[in-house]
Amino acid sequence: MDKWNMADIILAKRDGGALSGDAIKYFIDEYTRGAIPDYQAAAFLMAVYYKGMDRDEIFALTAAMAESGDKVDLSSIEGTKVDKHSSGGVGDKTTLVVAPLAAACGAKIAKMSGRGLGFTGGTVDKMESIPGMRTSMRPEDFIAQVNSIGIAVIGQTGRIAPADKKIYALRDVTATVDSLPLITSSIMSKKLASGSDAFVLDVKYGSGSFMATTEAAEELGRLMVEIGNKAGKKTAAFITGMEEPLGYGIGNSIEVLEAIEALKGKGPKDLEYLCLRLAAYMVYIGGRAASPEDGYGMAKAALESGAGLEKFRAFVEAQGGNPAVTDDPELFAAPRFSMDVMAAQPGFVGHIAARNIGMASQHTGAGRETKDDEIDMSAGIILRKKVGDRVEKGEALCTLFGSDTAKLEAAAPLAHAAFMIGGEAKRPEPLIHSVIV
């Protein structure tokens, strides 16, 4: 094509053709500035969803998105800046635990996080459930905060990978979330533009993630590590299971409260296990430990001493939040209603379909169905049983919370269908499958 035409680009990808880097850059640049309408962008995303992209296309898409706006200069922050990212899961509040633990060990955490996408939650939404907490700040204040207390977490700004911000919102409402090229480019474009020196990536697989199998998650992990390394960034990817929700809480304030309990050493064991290992690697590639094993020892000491919790308090206060939330749960928005979902038969929980739980949480009001929806910060789900637990007929499997009884009634069948009850106890699958470096 001598002159790019969006209809031709959509047609080429719809028919399975490989797009040139110039064609991909044309789409990103023109969509970012508003010259390509949402309906054509949605058609393009759906074509990519069905036909995929080869490695060269994915690299070109990631680069074009990273270059669609400003790139953050963090050179005035002393030391190695390390970031952590999850590919999305249900009940995944790890950033709220891992970042303070790593910062308490001396790592410099300068992180940009996202909002909820589809049936998965977002760190920014969770942070905004803390009274008064800001998730945006001027670049100079962001840098000053990291230099001062070692940690700052904000939402993606309009100037950082703005193409991703537009595409991210469109994917959420066009059923094009779980696409390898789109997930890869979304994550890594923001990482490359965010200015950090090193990345620890938590790549989920299973029913509660966008990657259904370990093979798909490993392919995503390898792609992202390759992109990071090509850009001169130390990058590692954990391949972790999301067959059942992480921890017991799903929702915004519900997950913050569970993260606080984890930082007190009283959280769910699966959450603590994963957070300590992610923090260990952040401390290691952040240059504060000689090995991941040393990093683990440092992270565990920060948890047991309360240093991680103190760093969380300092982080909340620095961003305008009320640090007293660590001791007073009543400072969070309280749900008006609750509803128990009961077991129809006795037995053992053999499986909890995390995707169903995520969708049920979304229906309670904890997530968005359109990109403009307001979130109910009090809404969500607390699991009463996990895989391997004994349950009696009529016993609560989980409890739904929210401000609208109609929404809870709509969510209840989804939540109930998530639980598979059998006659034999089953051990949960290993949480960490592999680490790619």
9-24 pLDDT per residue, tens: 999 999 999 999 999 9
Query: Read out DSSP for 369-432?
Result: SSTTPPP-TT-EEEES--TT-EE-TT-EEEEEEES-HHHHHHHHHHHHHHEEEESS--PPPPSE
Kindly report, residue by residue over 171-229, the tens digit of the pLDDT: 978 999 889 999 999 989 989 998 999 999 999 999 888 788 999 999 999 999 999 99
288 has catalytic annotation: no
Q: 102 burial class (0-12, 13-18, 19+ CB within 10 angstroms)?
A: buried
- Distance (Å, rounded) from C-alpha 31 to C-alpha 34? 5
Task: Identify the active-site residue in 186, 196, 209, 361.
Answer: 186
Q: Which of 155-159, 324-328, 417-421, 424-428 has the lowest mean pLDDT?
A: 155-159
- Which residue in 111, 165, 190, 288 is the catalytic one? 190
Fold held by 81-326: Pyrimidine Nucleoside Phosphorylase; Chain A, domain 2 (3.40.1030)
Pick the catalytic residue: 164, 172, 178, 376? Answer: 164
Where does the pLDDT of residue 340 fall: very low under 50, low under 70, confident under 90, or very high at 90 and above?
very high
Note if 85 is an active site residue. Answer: yes
Residue 390 has φ and ψ, to the nearest 5°, of: -80, 140
Distance CA 34, CA 77 (A): 35
pLDDT above 60 (res 86): yes
**SS3 for 331?**
helix
Residue 171 appears among annotated catalytic residues: yes
For residue 12, the model assigns a pLDDT of 97
CA dist list (Å): 315 to 96, 148, 164, 241, 323:
10, 10, 27, 29, 8
Q: Per the residue annotation, which of 25, 81, 93, 171 is the catalytic one? A: 171
Distance CA 252, CA 117 (A): 13
Domain limits of the chain?
A: 6-52, 81-326, 334-422
SS3 category, 82 = strand
pLDDT tens digits along 98-153: 999 999 999 999 998 877 766 677 899 999 999 999 999 998 999 999 999 999 99
Give the pLDDT of residue 1: 43
Q: What integer pLDDT is reported at residue 174 of this predicted model? A: 92
Residues making up the chain, counted from first to last? 437
Could you report the per-residue pLDDT of 387-410, keeping only the tens digit for each?
999 999 999 999 999 999 999 999
- The arithmetic mean of pLDDT across residues 299-309, rounded, is 98
Q: Into which CATH architecture does domain 334-422 fall?
A: Alpha-Beta Complex (3.90)
- Could you tell me the pLDDT band of residue 371, with boundaries at 50, 70 and 90? low
Is 390 an active-site residue? no
Produce one character per residue of 423-436: b if its CB has 16 or more CB atoms within 10 Å, e if not: eeeeeeeebebeeb
Q: Pick the catalytic residue from 84, 85, 233, 355.
A: 85
**Cα–Cα distance, 341 to 2 (Å, whole number):** 60
pLDDT at 117: 64
pLDDT of residue 112: 84
Mean pLDDT (the chain, rounded): 93
In sign, the C-alpha dihedral spanning 279, 228, 197, 160 is: negative
CA 2/CA 209 separation, integer angstroms: 40
Q: Is the dihedral of CA 169, 172, 175, 179 positive or negative?
A: positive
Asked whether 110 and 83 are in contact (CB, 8 A), the reply is yes
Query: Domain 6-52 adopts which CATH fold?
Result: 1.20.970
Q: How far apart are CA 157 and CA 113, in angstroms?
A: 10
Is the torsion defined by CA of 321, 322, 323, 325 positive or negative? negative
Active site residue 378: no
pLDDT at 337 over 60: yes
State phi, psi for 160 to the nearest 5 degrees.
-100, 115
Q: pLDDT grade, residue 33 (50/70/90)? A: very high
Q: Please, which residues have CB within 8 angstroms of residue 138's CB and are 6 or more apart in sequence?
A: none
Q: Say which residues have a Cβ less than 8 Å from residue 75's Cβ, sequence separation at least 6.
A: none
